[in-house]
Amino acid sequence: MKILQLCLKPPLPARDGGCIAMNNITQGLLQAGHRVKVLTIFTHKHDLNPELMPADYLESTEIEGVFIDTKLNAVDAYSSIITSDSYNISRFFSTDFDIRLAKLLRKEDFDIIHLESLFMTPYVSTIRRLCTTPIVLRSHNIEYVIWEKIAAGTKNPIRRFYLNYLTRKLKQYELSMLNGVSGIASISDEDRRRMLALGMKKPIRTIPFGINLADYPFESNAHSELALFHLGAMDWGPNLEGILWFLKSIWPRVHEKYPDLKLYLAGRNMSDEIKRLNFPNVVVVGEVEHAIQFMQSKAIMVVPLLSAGGIRVKIIEGLALGRAVISTTLGAEGLDCEDRKNIMLADRPDEWLKAVDELMTNPALVESLGSQGRTHATAQFDNGEITDELVNFYKELRKG
């Protein structure tokens, strides 16, 4: 099959979960013998750097990019109120990208057009105008749900009012687009059920995030520092929200009981607010060059996620590497993990303290969680098998 993959940011370098998820789809399809053309947006936050991409990737994908300025713009934001557009989405529309896409579709035929996230759906009308190729939306999250929770947690009344307005517009847009594509590849069963409840009428298939297990060597936690760590992009609202909550509501109690225990915070675009808090034994690492090596060096991953849907890529990576993972129930949603078997689940501060307590006083549990986590990742998230599921979904949509 010949697939056109439209990406909201360059898949490589794979610096965050979204990039990893997109790249693993590309690599899975290529390894299965399919042809993939990548056309991507790049921005001030996610630049296109061909020199950082392997030569075989550049050759096989013929990756092209169009720059879009997605920075928040007061004039555009105000205009969206007048025009009733969703500003969350309209920031990702570019006439230049639309023109390049149209030229490509006039020149080449594709079997499937694969959209990475809701933010690529502004180009559906152009695709529909120029071809009848089935369009698959790869849904990474139900976007408006994230914004609902962010708005609910905003204290400033003016900001909260505006965020609620953006959320309503985003929800209207998202619901319309769910039925505007040929089919949806949902990243989790939970998101699939939510979409069906919202009135999704087009075919929808759960296609979870996949990893190439060979890229994640399993190592015993006995060789790692007995420390907590979090790895995630801090310019993504739910990550920042969760870590600030953890630092303020949980870490002081953990530190009081285990004064020698360290918490390492890693990820690009580390928040100045986190740096200013200066909690004891919290090491702000920032962006790491080798994420896998960083994760291997610490024993316990923490994922205090309070909002967002989909699947957390970093948890799957942590499980594959044999780390002991503590997560909120929401953070572990869609992973089919079992509490105290292959993951530790905690939502309230007292539950988090208890989970840390169990791991600090029971090294055998740290080892067991790591071993069982690797087994679970192997059984559930092998990229080859997941690619086969995606291709079968493509074939069904083409027949339909």
pLDDT in tens, the chain (400 residues): 999 999 999 999 988 888 999 999 999 999 999 999 999 999 998 899 999 999 999 999 999 999 999 876 544 444 444 334 455 687 889 999 999 999 999 999 999 999 998 889 999 999 999 999 999 999 877 777 676 777 777 778 888 887 887 788 778 787 778 788 999 999 888 888 888 888 888 999 999 999 999 999 998 888 899 999 999 988 888 899 999 999 999 999 999 999 999 999 999 889 888 988 889 999 999 999 899 999 999 999 999 998 866 578 899 999 999 999 999 999 998 899 999 999 999 999 999 999 999 999 999 999 999 999 999 999 999 999 999 999 999 999 999 7
| One domain for residues 187 and 251 | no
Residue 79: what pLDDT?
A: 44
pTM of the model: 0.80
Could you tell me the two tokens for 352?
A: 């988090």
| One domain for residues 159 and 186 | yes
Structurally, how many domains does the chain consist of?
2
| One domain for residues 45 and 144 | yes
| One domain for residues 309 and 351 | yes
Residue 88: what pLDDT?
A: 60
| One domain for residues 153 and 292 | no
The closest of 1, 45, 68, 54 to 23, measured between CA atoms, is 54
- Could you tell me the CATH number of the domain that includes residue 314? 3.40.50.2000
Residue 150: what pLDDT?
A: 72
Could you tell me the two tokens for 387?
A: 């690619």
Residue whose token pair is 């909690």: 279
| One domain for residues 227 and 258 | yes
Annotate the chain with three-state secondary structure. CEEEEEECCCCCCCCCHHHHHHHHHHHHHHHCCCEEEEEEEECCCCCCCHHHCCHHHHHHHCCEEEECCCCCCHHHHHHHHHHCCCHHHHCCCCHHHHHHHHHHHHHCCCCEEEEECHHHHHHHHHHHHHCCCCEEEEECCCHHHHHHHHHHCCCCHHHHHHHHHHHHHHHHHHHHHHCCCCEEEECCHHHHHHHHHCCCCCCEEECCCCECHHHCCCCCHHHCEEEEEEECCCCCHHHHHHHHHHHHHCHHHHHHHCCCCCEEEECCCCCHHHHHHCCCCEEEEECCCCHHHHHHHEEEEEECCCCCCCCCHHHHHHHHCCCEEEECCCCCCCCCCCECCCEEECCCHHHHHHHHHHHHHCHHHHHHHHHHHHHHHHHHCEHHHHHHHHHHHHHHHHHC
How far apart CA 300 and CA 151 sit, in angstroms, is 31
| One domain for residues 268 and 288 | yes
Domain containing 170: what range?
A: 2-210+382-399
| One domain for residues 243 and 171 | no
Residue 163: what pLDDT?
A: 80
| One domain for residues 124 and 151 | yes
| One domain for residues 39 and 86 | yes
| One domain for residues 153 and 276 | no
∠ CA 67-139-95, nearest 5°, is 25
Cβ neighbours of residue 238 closer than 8 Å, sequence gap 6 or more? 146, 149, 150, 305, 306, 307, 308
Residue 63: what pLDDT?
A: 98
For residues 340 and 364, is the Cβ–Cβ distance under 8 A?
no
The closest of 399, 396, 390, 392 to 137, measured between CA atoms, is 390
Residue 77: what pLDDT?
A: 45
| One domain for residues 53 and 169 | yes
